[in-house]
Amino acid sequence: MVDEYTLLLDVLFDLFAETEGRLDVEVLRVLIHVASMGVAAAVEQFSTEREADVKSAQEALLKAHEYEAQLIGVVSHDLRNPLTIIVHCAELMLRTEHLPAPACRQLQRLRGATDRAMRLIGDLLDFTQARNQGRIPVKPVAVDMRLLLRQVIEEAMLTHPGRTIERAGPDVRMVGRWDPDRIAQVLTNLLDNALKFSPADSLVRVESDLAADRVIVAVHNRGEPIPPERLASVFEPFQRADPDANPRASLGLGLYISRQLAQAHGGDLTVESSAEAGTRFTLTLPRGCTRDGAG
């Protein structure tokens, strides 16, 4: 429609030129005004139609996200229930006296596989919340980071026997308001990655520091550095630390979720990596969570 009105204006100007100005100027002014009003009306109609299209597309996208979240929630719930039963059964059987060594090994493999499956489901749910809600809910309470670090390190050493984890930092209370389960999730992920991607005979160093308004925890390893071209995207979803690794072992969401959790507490997670210094992930958390009561 805009093209037709533009063509009409061109015709009017051509007519005025061909008549060498003999066409009544007032008549021409009225015709141009009418044509201009037509153009304005056409533009307004076009804008209204486009706004309606955009609104319709946004509503469809919102419904798709809601459906996706519901679907993932239902599927994850239905998967978690049988996996939980499998884990409990495996643990009960492992307590059986005089269990043959081959059976014990198979049960341990079964328990490890179900644990990994549970983590993948949890990562998928966290990713869906972060994408659809803009954040992952946290429930801050008073926590001593020193004790939480000790617990996470002890658990990591149990799951990685033979590895050395060195802790450095002041041996003082580091109390703040954080979600202990979520922060433990971040620290566990950072430690697991550091142990996985560093030589078996090297140590992983965990440093902690206390400031007036924040706590800083850094996890350092001497493994192969992250390539510079990948540093910028290491916290993006579906980015695995080792692109050549078995894709079934990880969704590549761990670091993305870890940073989302740090930011949900009003903090951040950053990384530095080089061949000379190794790889260092630094978690910074304000001592009073700015998202208190979120979720």
Whether residue 200 sits in one domain with residue 114: no
* Shared domain check, 162 and 267: yes
Asked if 107 and 147 sit in the same domain, the reply is no
Cα-atom radius of gyration of the chain, to the nearest Å? 31
- Is 105 in the same domain as 156? no
Considering only 9-18, 202-211, 251-260, which range has the smallest mean pLDDT?
9-18
Q: Considering the domain boundaries, does residue 291 fall inside one?
A: no
- Assess whether 152 and 251 both reside in one domain: yes
Span 168-179, mean pLDDT? 93
For residues 125 and 152, membership in a common domain is answered with: no
Per-residue pLDDT for 29 more than 90?
no
Residue range 183-206, pLDDT digits in tens: 999 999 999 999 999 999 999 999
Average pLDDT over residues 25-40: 68
* Higher pLDDT among residues 20 and 196, named by residue: 196
Per the structure, the count of domains in the chain is 2
> Do 98 and 168 lie in a common domain?
no
Helix (H) or strand (E) holding 247: none
pLDDT interval class at 287 (50, 70, 90): very high
What pTM was estimated for this model as a whole? 0.66
Share of the chain above pLDDT 90, in %: 37
DSSP 143: E
Final residue of a structural domain among 134, 163, 179: 134
DSSP state of 212: S
If asked whether residues 99 and 147 sit together in one domain, one would say no
Do 192 and 96 share a structural domain? no
Residue that finishes a domain, picked among 96, 116, 134:
134
Looking at every residue in the chain, the average pLDDT score rounds to 81
> Residues with Cβ < 8 Å from 261, sequence gap 6 or more?
136, 138, 179, 182, 183, 185, 186
Count the Cβ atoms, other than its own, within 10 Å of residue 146. 19
For the segment 48-72, what is each residue's pLDDT rounded down to a tens digit?
878 877 877 777 777 766 666 666 6
277, two tokens = 């210094």
Final residue before a domain boundary, out of 134, 157, 175: 134
- Find the CATH number of the domain harbouring 240: 3.30.565.10
**Does residue 293 surpass a pLDDT of 50?**
no
Residue 116 and residue 50 in one domain: yes
Residue 30: both structure tokens together: 């009225």
Together in a domain, 154 and 198: yes
Residue 292 lies in a domain: no
- Mapped onto helix, strand or coil, the DSSP state of residue 280 is strand
- Please check whether residue 99 is in contact with residue 93, taking contact to mean a CB–CB distance below 8 angstroms: yes
Query: Would you state the pLDDT for residue 57?
Result: 78
pLDDT at 144: 96
In whole angstroms, what is the distance from residue 28 CA to residue 23 CA?
7
Domain enclosing residue 150, as ranges? 141-286
C-alpha angle 97-100-105 in degrees, rounded to nearest 5: 105
Does a structural domain hold residue 294? no
- Same domain (yes/no): 11, 64: yes
Total residue length of the chain: 295
Q: How far is the C-alpha of 29 from the C-alpha of 47, rounded, in Å?
A: 27
- The pLDDT of residue 292 is above 50: no
For 81-122, the pLDDT digits (tens) are 777 788 888 888 888 878 888 888 888 888 778 877 887 778
- Name which of 148, 189, 183, 160 is nearest 284 in CA terms: 183
Q: Whole-angstrom Cα distance, residue 140 to residue 289?
A: 7
- Whether the pLDDT of residue 12 is over 70: the answer is no
